[in-house]
Structure 1
Amino acid sequence: MNVDSYDKLQFALLSGRVDECGAFLASRHESDKGSAEYWYWLAQMYYRSGRFQDALDVGSKLTREAGVFAMHFHFMADVCAHLGVTDIGLSALDTLASKPELAAASSYYVRLCGYHYLGEDDAVLSVRRDAVTPLSPGSEQYRARSVMRSQGIATGVGAFCSTYCSRQAVADFSPTLNVERYWCGQRELPKRLSIEGHSSGFGDFIQWARYAQALQALGVEISWAAGLNGILGDYKLNDHSHQLAQQLVAAGFVCGRNDTSMWSDPFALFASLFPVLNYGSTDRYIAQRTDNQVEQTLNDIRQRAQGRRCVGIFWSSCESNNLYASRSLLHQHLAPVWDASDDIHWVIMQRGYQRACWLDGSYSKDPQRCTILPAHISLAQTIGIIDCLDGFVGNDGVLSHAAGALNKPGYLLLNARCADWRYEQSVGTTPWYPSLKVLRPDTMGDWDAVVAKLISSVKSWEAA
């Protein structure tokens, strides 16, 4: 598909076709340089290719010159969190939110959401809604997320449930969904429950499958969204699932009184059941998946490794449809890692533009040092490969969730205080995944410090 219109840019950028997108935008510069749309997509191209300072510069131009246009504030806050330039992010947000042409509700949303992206939880909690601004779950959910991140999940999960997972909230977010058949914590459980993903990513499904398994152990017939394509494997309920089910019974949950079918999603599972089951921590709760492609790839990895430890690595989520620069490293950050240990064979699992950057580097040419997974390998197959490796290193993304759910030893690379709320302020470990060690910097955006910690950790692996 040629990139010959603005509506084709998003798909092409997420596919790593940055050069094609750049050529299209260059061809439109003279005719479209007066439009906010042109500058927005130029910033998006810089963002998706890891040119974060350039993206920030264009975003600043939009803030100054584009009037009521505000679509860019999300990536502006995200970029500032990646770079660790909180003061610039706060200034940009306040400038945008203070524009008189911006509606009061939009200004309120910009502040709450933007401050949260920047990890400024105290600022989020200090924002007050005036009398003319209607109460909106879309805004208030960020207040709940900041409470969970800064004060602990237990403190804010009730507010998160009401502002993001309640029937009213879901009806506001997605008016076409059938909320009458939506399960969000009712004590009388349906006979059948389908776990859908209207607002969830693959990592959310993996992380909170533990709660669905507890419901299944209680007798609920669980089915999963077809789009998961087997990433959970053919898991079997274990003693831990039945122990969690008994906790649900003690809390008043009952199954078998009706013949109803309902649907839910991973966030509703979490928000409804965390107050009873807490983190639901366990060792391993998804199953191994293998096929001929997985076995062939593993054989290739082992032959290249020649007896070295085989460790998977994934570092950037900027190829995601969401905005995740704040949780992503760039390939150049990791340059010191490749020489840190002669005992490790790295299995590169990166996608998108960062994958292309890796392939252009000299390290990718050394078959003894690394293997890069073929581009056609599916997510389920990648998880099957992780299960057979010696360890995993990754940012906050689906593969780290999978490694944790497989009880694979490894390291989870997080930013400082702006990391996702589910990790609270954890340093060193996370109760969600006991096998993963958490590495995060003292200062937001200091990715070199994260890499230094990773190198030290890798050397301890070698000594073990």
Structure 2
Amino acid sequence: MNPQIGFLLNKTLESLRVSNLDLAELYLKQAMRIESNNPHVYRLLGVLSTNRKKYPEALDYFNKSLKFLPKNSLALCNLGNVFYDLKNYEKALDIYDKSIKLDPNFEEVWSNRGNVLFEMNRYEEALVNYDKAINLKPSYADAWSNKGNTIRQLGLPEDSIIYYDRALSLKPDHHEAAWNKSLALLLLGDYQHGLPLYESRWRSKSISEIAEKRSFDKPTWLGMESLNGKTILLYGEQGLGDFIQFCRYAKLVADLGAKVILEVPQSLAIVLTDLAGVSELVIKGQELPPFDFCCPLLSLPLAFNTNVASIPAENAYIASDSNKVSEWGSKLGPKTKKRVGLVWSSISSFQHDSKRSLLLSDFVKALPTEGYEYICLQKEIKDCDKEFFREYKNIQYYGDQLNDFSDTAALIECVDLVISSCTSVPHLSAAMGKETWVIVPYVPDWRWLLDREDSPWYPSVKLYRQSAINDWSGVLERVRKDLAGTLLG
């Protein structure tokens, strides 16, 4: 290989390792000027494009590289990564298998193959692949961390911590392992150790899938400085449900003597107008007033040294608009039966949404056909549910009239009970103090903890948990039985 090309490729790899994509591109452009058809340059251009999520471009570069070097297991592994990112898991598996056939001792492709099997919920098979990678390279921190994720998804968060710690011992700055360890600790209710570690999310590459990292020229407040006479900006970073859950801390911040500015998404602006503790509400995208400190909402539990026993769990901290409640009451008409608000899925792009969302054709198995009036609280219906929904006549739908969460809140006020999968709606319902039944997967989000039917975050919530991975049948049967019992009662 041309020495200049070799030098530029090494500099490219260094830049990619620290996620300096612009610098990596400069090195690769220099290499292309020296040798325009170098397969190794093509491969790294593909890696660069993958990091930028320019997948058609990445596929083109990898295919060009493989045209020159068809038996390059590394290029095949990189190609498989594109299909993994595109969630074409069967295609990714096929390409990884070809890479392994060429080089059975290539530890990275075994770990990546494990990642695909993990996403396909084939956890036991994933573990075999991670173990293969670890046997080939015992110092492979990523494989140890990925194994920890799999153990956690098998319902063993305490055991998963062993593997995260192993990854961190090998690579102390393994931020993915640190963040995932925090999720395991929080799921176990160990907020003392989990909340400080949860701050490692900002250094995790995968945080971009669930959170928006913001940069301000003011210090982040985490409970150390006095706020008396100061102005602080509180802002959301993750989903709408997270915003609803953690905006309760605004009152505690104000009680420290601070003027609280709350930046809110447009869809929550009206429903949070009278949130206790907030001095000024700013819609996201509008110009922010001056402030002395800032804090993302999900860092407030740490700032207040929260533990499970000290969660600020007022029965209701969000109120509906009485005028809108009257309007929705008129739309629904005279009440002749108990009304149940329903949510079975979301339109979220959240990576693991399939673990918490149900098909409507399955969800209705929880609903007695007589005795209740069912109201859909979802604004949108997934394509996979539309045909069944058109044929199923037992659920009223008002999604096109739900302009924002103030309408959803008013509609919630008009029902007696909300039954929902883990989306933003049950957070709103529970924050209003409405009786809410939440159905959660075998390994739920950390906020729902383990092995309990209640939630320390919401006094009005009752949890219905899967007793086995991917098995909703038992959950739905328990909901149906409790609904029948409630009707009889």
Residue range with higher mean Cα deviation, 229-238 or 436-445: 229-238
Contact 1:197 1:265 in 2 (8 A): yes
Q: Aligned residue for 2:318?
A: 286
Q: Where does the alignment leave 5 or more consecutive residues of structure 1 unmatched?
A: 1-23, 45-54, 242-258
Instruction: Map 1:234-313 onto structure 2 (within 5 A).
Output: 234-237=273-276, 261-275=292-306, 278-289=310-321, 297-302=328-333, 307-313=336-342
Deviation at 1:180, TM superposition (A): 5.2
Contact 2:80 2:96 in 1 (8 A): no
Instruction: Specify the code of the residue in structure 2 equivalent to 1:234.
Output: T
Deviations 1:184-227 (A, max 9, x none): 222412612212223x2111111112212211233322222242
Instruction: Quote the sequence identity (%).
Output: 17
Deviation at 1:165, TM superposition (A): 7.3
Instruction: Specify the code of the residue in structure 1 equivalent to 2:385.
Output: W
Q: Aligned residue for 1:374?
A: 399
Q: Is the radius of gyration larger for structure 1 or structure 2?
A: 2
Residue range with higher mean Cα deviation, 67-76 or 454-463: 67-76
Instruction: Specify the code of the residue in structure 2 equivalent to 1:348.
Output: C
Q: Aligned residue for 1:20?
A: none
Distance between the aligned counterparts of 2:310 and 2:255, measured in 1?
Answer: 17
Distance between the aligned counterparts of 1:116 and 1:183, measured in 2?
Answer: 31
Contact 1:316 1:330 in 2 (8 A): yes
Contact 2:185 2:191 in 1 (8 A): no
Deviation at 1:375, TM superposition (A): 3.8
Match of 2:344 among 300, 306, 315: 315
Contact 1:63 1:96 in 2 (8 A): no
Deviation at 1:343, TM superposition (A): 1.8
Q: Which structure would you say has the larger RCO, counting Cα contacts within 8 Å and 6 or more residues apart?
A: 1
Distance between the aligned counterparts of 1:73 and 1:419, measured in 2?
Answer: 21
Distance between the aligned counterparts of 2:220 and 2:248, measured in 1?
Answer: 19
Match of 2:179 among 131, 135, 141: 141
Deviation at 1:264, TM superposition (A): 1.0
Q: Aligned residue for 1:119?
A: 155
Match of 2:371 among 327, 343, 348: 343
Deviation at 1:364, TM superposition (A): 4.9
Instruction: Specify the code of the residue in structure 1 equivalent to 2:362.
Output: H
Distance between the aligned counterparts of 1:98 and 1:348, measured in 2?
Answer: 51
Q: Aligned residue for 1:446?
A: 471
Instruction: Map 1:377-388 onto structure 2 (within 5 A).
Output: 377-380=402-405, 381-388=407-414
1:336 partner SS:
helix
Instruction: Specify the code of the residue in structure 1 equivalent to 2:259.
Output: E
Instruction: Specify the code of the residue in structure 1 equivalent to 2:246.
Output: W
TM-score (norm 2): 0.67
TM-score (norm 1): 0.70
2:341 partner SS:
strand
Instruction: Specify the code of the residue in structure 2 equivalent to 1:233.
Output: L
1:456 aligns with 2:487: no
Distance between the aligned counterparts of 1:437 and 1:370, measured in 2?
Answer: 22
Contact 2:199 2:299 in 1 (8 A): no
Match of 1:423 among 448, 465, 487: 448
Contact 2:234 2:260 in 1 (8 A): yes
Alpha-carbon spacing, 1:130–1:321, altered in 2? closer, same or farther (3 Å): closer
Alpha-carbon spacing, 1:355–1:324, altered in 2? closer, same or farther (3 Å): closer
Match of 1:77 among 108, 115, 118: 118
Distance between the aligned counterparts of 2:191 and 2:327, measured in 1?
Answer: 45
Alpha-carbon spacing, 1:215–1:132, altered in 2? closer, same or farther (3 Å): closer
Instruction: Specify the code of the residue in structure 2 equivalent to 1:206.
Output: I
Distance between the aligned counterparts of 2:470 and 2:448, measured in 1?
Answer: 17
Q: Where does the alignment leave 5 or more consecutive residues of structure 2 unmatched?
A: 1-55, 65-75, 101-107, 279-289
Alpha-carbon spacing, 1:412–1:62, altered in 2? closer, same or farther (3 Å): farther
Deviations 1:166-185 (A, max 9, x none): 9xxx9xx9887247521122
Q: Aligned residue for 1:358?
A: 385
Instruction: Specify the code of the residue in structure 2 equivalent to 1:359.
Output: K
Distance between the aligned counterparts of 1:297 and 1:263, measured in 2?
Answer: 37
Instruction: Specify the code of the residue in structure 2 equivalent to 1:153.
Output: D
Instruction: Specify the code of the residue in structure 1 equivalent to 2:425.
Output: L
Deviation at 1:284, TM superposition (A): 0.1
Instruction: Map 1:16-415 onto structure 2 (within 5 A).
Output: 35-36=79-80, 39-40=83-84, 43=87, 57=90, 60-61=93-94, 64-65=97-98, 68=108, 76-77=117-118, 79-80=120-121, 86-94=123-131, 104-127=140-163, 128-129=166-167, 133-150=171-188, 152-161=189-198, 163-164=200-201, 177-178=215-216, 181-189=219-227, 191-198=230-237, 200-229=238-267, 230=269, 232-237=271-276, 261-275=292-306, 278-289=310-321, 297-302=328-333, 307-317=336-346, 319-338=348-367, 340-350=368-378, 355-361=382-388, 364-366=391-393, 369-375=394-400, 377-380=402-405, 381-415=407-441
Distance between the aligned counterparts of 2:169 and 2:457, measured in 1?
Answer: 40
Deviation at 1:399, TM superposition (A): 0.8
Deviation at 1:319, TM superposition (A): 3.1
2:362 partner SS:
helix
Instruction: Specify the code of the residue in structure 1 equivalent to 2:294.
Output: W
Deviation at 1:99, TM superposition (A): 7.0
